[in-house]
Amino acid sequence: MFEIVIDTGGTFTDAVLIDAERKISTAKFPTNVADPSESIMGAIGLLAQQHHLAAEELLATTKTLVIGTTLSTNAILEKKGAKCCLFHTKGFRDIPELGSKLWQRDIYNLKAPPPDYLIPRRLRFGIEERMQYDGQVLTPLKKDDVKEAVKKAKAQGVEVPVVCFLHSYLNPAHEEEVASLIKEDYPDTVLSSHILRRWMEYDRLSTAELAGYVKPVTARFLRTLATRMKNARFTGTSLLVTCAGGVASPEVVIDNPTLLIGSGPAAGPLLGQFLGKLAGYENVVVLDMGGTSSDLSMLPGLKITTTTQMKIGEYKNASESVDVASIGAGGGSIARLDERTMLYVGPESAGADPGPACYGKGGQSPTVTDADVVLGRIPADYFLGGAIQLDRAVAEKVITEKVAKPLGISTPEAAHAIASLVEDNMATEIFLVSVRKGLDPRTFSLVVGGGAGPVHAVAVAAKLGIKEVYIPRQAAVFCAFGASLADYTFILNRFL
């Protein structure tokens, strides 16, 4: 029997297979952003080839399939979620404006542009009802208001209603009554009391909005994946990596899609903690540098910390999540010059398609991977174990034309500048995260993962004064391997 763990990133889909003798096989497959399930099947196909099996034969003897994905996170960042409306307690339509202003970092900047709201004011419908602070009903739910709101929502083409009433975390009766009233029109209604059973109205509302926004795309992905798995004769258990660093069933994730926000990176600290214990480290910084971004987490005393302040673009996810900071610095990060000929790297990424110029898929922008190829840090004839042949000449061409010539320097110097700048970006972010937590990065060891991580790890450590760097053999599939250590996780809240 086999166990398969898969992490779908923005550039590559990583896969780890563990057989009955606890032997490990790994594979990487380019991510299909439009249909991640296709990439998952592609990665499984590569694992099957290594064992001289067809994909169907491998899946038929697989006991557990664990999947971490950036699907929900990317839907929010790329603004490709569902059209939602809000049913709120009458008189409290502006909670998003009031809460998001406090959530912004530049709250005293009078010239700051207004935030972008997932649900605009015209799609917020007031419902006459009121629950007291102690959970007692003050004003009964007015059903006519609910019916009128449904008519407006349908006229506006709303896909998912989000219901958030005052003090529903203590008594969800009114929210549940709304769901019952509109279930024929909207069976997938999101209730804030079911998503986040915790006080603080804005936190609960913002998290519920995110749940509604990604629910359809999450459900489609899981249904498509389930169909593909069934057709491929898989009869084992499917589990999803959650933002809390655990695993949950697809049914639980569909009911609360915020569990999938931050799913992939949440597994990295699990492997960092495991390797830190093996190596006898006291404190660990985990740096996972992939193709699109770099994810970092601090583990003082080898303890994984959590947060209820996860920021996804402009939005707040208050679900308890593994504390992972992301920076737009990966192998596919694009290098560019501004109007002052200042060099920048990231946060834009070339992704998997077309990818870095050296992939030969039509990419015309110089990236970190192109720079590493020019510098000889990545062998052009042995990328992904020889699965992909890189074109060094194309990498040199785009770096020369778009960086070296405008700056009046040689191509190797330009490549070195790109690589050094992305290393500075990562080191700066680690330093800032450390300082905000009152930690000294010099007292930490650096555990590195990701396809691009080992290439830049030593330079990052040197900039921070870190003296020990741990690069595991499974660095290229870091989060996928970490997810194999995940256990079922439940987060419960109780109010007295």
Show the domain range for 381: 279-477
**Distance set, CA 242 to CA 10, 246, 262, 417 (Å):** 17, 5, 7, 37
Q: Are residues 295 and 440 in the same domain?
A: yes
User: Is the bond preceding 172 in cis, omega lying within 30 degrees of 0?
Assistant: no
Statement to judge: residues 430 and 291 lie in one domain: yes
Same domain membership, residue 291 and residue 166: no
24 belongs to a structural domain: no
Residue 4 domain flag: no
Residue 26 β-bridge partners? 16
Note the pLDDT tens digit of each residue in 22-79.
889 999 888 887 888 999 999 999 999 999 999 999 999 999 999 999 888 888 877 8
- Summarised one tens digit per residue, pLDDT across range 257-298 is 999 998 888 999 999 999 999 999 999 999 999 887 888 999
Beta strands 237-241 and 247-248: pairing type?
antiparallel
Residues 195 and 284 in one domain: no
Quick check: is 62 in a domain?
no
Instruction: List Cβ neighbours of 42 (8 Å cut-off, separation of 6 or more).
Output: 13, 29, 30, 32
66 found inside a domain: no
Rounded distance, CA 363 to CA 354, Å? 5
In a 10 Å sphere around its CB, with 0-12 CB exposed, 13-18 middle and 19+ buried, how is residue 435 labelled? exposed
Q: Based on the domain organization, do 317 and 168 belong to the same domain?
A: no
CATH number at residue 373: 3.30.420.40
- The answer to whether residues 202 and 299 belong to one domain is no
pLDDT > 90: percent of the chain = 68
| Domain assignment of residue 5, yes or no | no
Q: Kindly report the pTM of this predicted structure.
A: 0.86
- Predicted confidence band of residue 491 (pLDDT cuts 50, 70, 90): confident
C-alpha to C-alpha distance for 17 and 314, rounded to whole angstroms: 37
CB 249 within 8 A of CB 239: yes
Highest average pLDDT, of 31-35, 78-82, 207-211, comes from 207-211
Residue 311 has pLDDT above 60, yes or no: yes
Same domain, 455 and 311: yes
pLDDT at 101: 65
DSSP annotation of 403 reads I
Q: What average pLDDT score do residues 346-361 get?
A: 83
- Per-residue confidence at 310, pLDDT binned at 50, 70, 90? confident
| pLDDT bucket at 351, cuts 50 / 70 / 90 | confident
For residue 64, tell me if it sits in a domain: no
Position 80 scores a pLDDT of 86
- Phi, then psi, of 5 in degrees rounded to 5: -125, 130
**Domain-terminating residue out of 207, 238, 259:** 207
Residues 6 or more apart whose CB falls under 8 angstroms from that of 292 comprise: 9, 10, 11, 328, 330, 332, 333, 349, 351
Q: What are the φ/ψ torsions at residue 294 (nearest 5 degrees)? A: -120, 130
pLDDT one-digit tens code per residue, 415-453: 999 999 999 999 999 999 999 999 999 999 999 998 889
Q: What is the pLDDT of residue 151?
A: 96
Q: What is the pLDDT of residue 494?
A: 60
Indicate if 189 and 307 belong to the same structural domain.
no
- CA-wise closest residue to 70 among 230, 295, 272: 295
Task: Select from 178, 207, 236 the last residue of a domain.
Answer: 207
For residue 430, give both structure tokens: 């680690």
Q: What percent of the chain has pLDDT over 70?
A: 97
Q: What pLDDT does residue 346 have? A: 82
Q: Which residues contact 11 (CB under 8 A, 6 or more apart)?
A: 30, 31, 290, 291, 292, 330, 331, 332, 349, 351, 352, 355
Q: Are 299 and 401 found together in one domain?
A: yes
CA–CA separation, 464 vs 9, rounded Å? 27
Give yes or no for residue 314 having a pLDDT over 90. Answer: no
Average pLDDT for residues 136-158, to the nearest whole number?
96
Domain count, the chain: 2
263 belongs to a structural domain: no
Mean pLDDT of 319-346: 89
Say yes or no: 308 and 393 in one domain.
yes
Tokens, residue 387: 């699965």
Q: What is residue 493's predicted lDDT score, i.e. its pLDDT?
A: 64
Q: Are residues 295 and 196 in the same domain?
A: no
CB 264 within 8 A of CB 279: no
Q: Which residues pair with 131 in a beta bridge?
A: 137
Domain boundary residue, one of 207, 239, 268: 207
Residue 244 lies in a domain: no
* Mean per-residue pLDDT over the chain, rounded: 90
Peptide bond into 250 cis (omega under 30): no
**How many other C-beta atoms are found inside a 10 Å radius of the C-beta of residue 98?**
12
